Amino acid sequence: MQIIDGKKVSAEVKAQVAKETELLKSKGIVPGLAVVIVGDDPASRVYVNNKKKACELVGFKSEEYALPAQTTQQELLDLVETLNDKKDINGILVQLPLPEHLDEKQIIEAINSIKDVDAFNAVNVGKIMIGDYDFLPCTPAGVMEMLSYYNIPVSGKNCVVIGRSNIVGKPMAMLLLHQNGTVTICHSKTRNLNEICAGADILVAAVGIPKFVKADMVKEGAVVIDVGMDRDENGKLCGDVDFDDVKEKTSYITPVPGGVGPMTIATLMKNTLKACKLQNNC
Ligand code: GUN
């Protein structure tokens, strides 16, 4: 069993982004990311802080817009419009989830596709579907980068994704398919979930339920990727995989924290750099 070190892979990706940023700066171009957070969800606050830190590390300009929980739809739309027009901002990220009274879909669609570094809006999702994309979805692309770094082949493998969210499950399945994996998406209505998972060469858990994946759901020698960011019964950060129960059966496994999380941020940095280059024709 080998633990996949997301921190290490992410540091290498960010170092590469920093190198390219240096080059852009010598031409007078500085990539800029705007991060918008509405309300005071503690998990979102941690994610946003980590994104800002990563921007500093790679040499981007970052702007944070922290809005109160009672912000109206129109106020948020106005902010997105302002950021769409801002020349020194290349990427716009609205941290999800938004407070319930806000229409998330409308906000995402209001972001100019060329600044949509999360790759959440319909144009970018459509491009991912046909395999002709500018921006890769951050978490799934981070997972693919880790697989590639550890020379884990995907082609012809049975890949099972648990979870069908727009942020992770659906685009994850699509990227595995692009690499010629045979992909099954499981969800809350799936029958024989345990058996399907136990047939996976590569198992990706993105359900949001702490320690959901147990040893009997894992094939001997499987690669297990844990996208979960959950809290266990003691309030301690854990993933969707019961790491201690599962680890000995796997060939590779990602820990939580230190697995997928840092890779999501590394991809965000790559996307922002790409957005900057596209917007400056370089
Ligand atoms: N909330 C959880 N993951 C993400 C992400 O990748 N991007 C944004 N904007 N919000 C999130």
Average pLDDT over residues 186-198: 98
Residue 201's pLDDT is: 99
Backbone angles phi, psi at 238, to 5 degrees: -150, 175
Tell me the CA–centroid distance for residue 84 and ligand 1, in Å: 19
Q: Whose CA is nearest to atom 11 of ligand 1?
A: 96
Q: What is the dihedral of CA 40, 44, 49, 50, to 10 degrees?
A: 170
Query: What pLDDT is recorded for position 7?
Result: 98
Looking at the chain, the whole-number percentage of residues with pLDDT higher than 90 is 100
- Residue 275: its pLDDT value, please? 98
Ligand 1 centroid from CA 45, angstroms: 11
- Which residues are near ligand 1 (CB < 6 Å)? 93-96, 118, 138-139, 167, 264
**CA quadruple 190, 182, 213, 246: dihedral sign:** positive
Q: What is the pLDDT of residue 207?
A: 97
Q: What is the CA radius of gyration of the chain?
A: 19
Task: List the catalytic residue out of 14, 115, 116, 118.
Answer: 118
Closest atom of ligand 1 to 138 CA is: 6
**Ligand 1 midpoint to CA 250 (Å):** 28
Compute the distance between CA of residue 9 and CA of residue 15 in angstroms, rounded to an integer.
10
Is residue 270 a contact partner of residue 10, using CB atoms and an 8 Å limit?
no
What pLDDT does residue 222 have?
99
The reply to whether 74 belongs to the active site is no
What integer pLDDT is reported at residue 95 of this predicted model? 98
Query: How many angstroms does the Cα of residue 192 sit away from the middle of ligand 1?
Result: 30
Measured by CA distance, the residue closest to atom 8 of ligand 1 is 95
Question: Which pLDDT score, from 0 to 100, does residue 263 have?
Answer: 98
Give the residue from 138, 128, 118, 119 showing the smallest Cα distance to 6: 138
Mean of per-residue pLDDT scores for the chain: 98
Name the DSSP letter for residue 249.
Answer: G
With the most atoms of ligand 1 within 8 angstroms of its CB, the residue from 93, 96, 104, 269 to mutate is 96
Distance of alpha carbon 47 from alpha carbon 110, whole angstroms:
22
What separation in Å is there between the alpha carbon of 157 and the centre of ligand 1? 28
Look at phi and psi of residue 208 and say left if phi exceeds 0, alpha if psi is from -120 to 50, else beta: left
Q: Using the 8-state DSSP alphabet, how is residue 172 labeled? A: H
What 8-state DSSP symbol labels residue 95? -
Using CA positions, which residue lies closest to atom 4 of ligand 1? 96
pLDDT value at position 136? 94
Could you tell me the CA-to-CA distances from 107 to 50, 78, 92, 100 in Å, in that order? 23, 10, 11, 13
What local confidence, expressed as pLDDT, does residue 101 receive?
98
Q: pLDDT of 214-265, one tens digit each?
A: 999 999 999 999 999 999 999 999 999 999 999 999 999 999 999 999 999 9
Confidence of residue 176 (pLDDT cuts 50, 70, 90): very high
- Out of 14, 51, 219, 249, the active site residue is 51
Instruction: Give the start-end residues of each E strand in the chain.
Output: 2-3, 32-38, 61-67, 91-94, 158-162, 182-186, 202-205, 222-226, 230-231, 237-238, 250-253
Q: What is the pLDDT of residue 175?
A: 98
Closest residue to atom 9 of ligand 1, CA basis: 95
For residue 170, how far is its CA from the centre of ligand 1 (angstroms)? 14
Q: What is the mean pLDDT of residues 140-162?
A: 98
- Please report, rounded to a whole number, the percentage of residues in the chain having pLDDT higher than 70: 100
CA–CA separation, 259 and 241 (whole Å):
12
Ligand 1: nearest atom to the Cα of 96: 10
Structure tokens at 125: 């999702």
Q: Is 51 a catalytic residue?
A: yes
Write out the two tokens for 102. 């806000």
Ligand 1 atom closest to the CA of 93, numbered from 1: 9
DSSP secondary structure string for all residues of 147-164: HHHTT---TT-EEEEE--
Q: What is the pLDDT at residue 248? A: 98
CB–CB of 209/238 below 8 Å?
A: no
Put simply, whether the predicted model's pTM sits higher than 0.75 gets the answer: yes
pLDDT digits (tens, 9 = 90+) for 43-90: 999 999 999 999 999 999 999 999 999 999 999 999 999 999 999 999
Whole-number Cα distances in Å, 185 to 141, 191, 278: 17, 12, 33
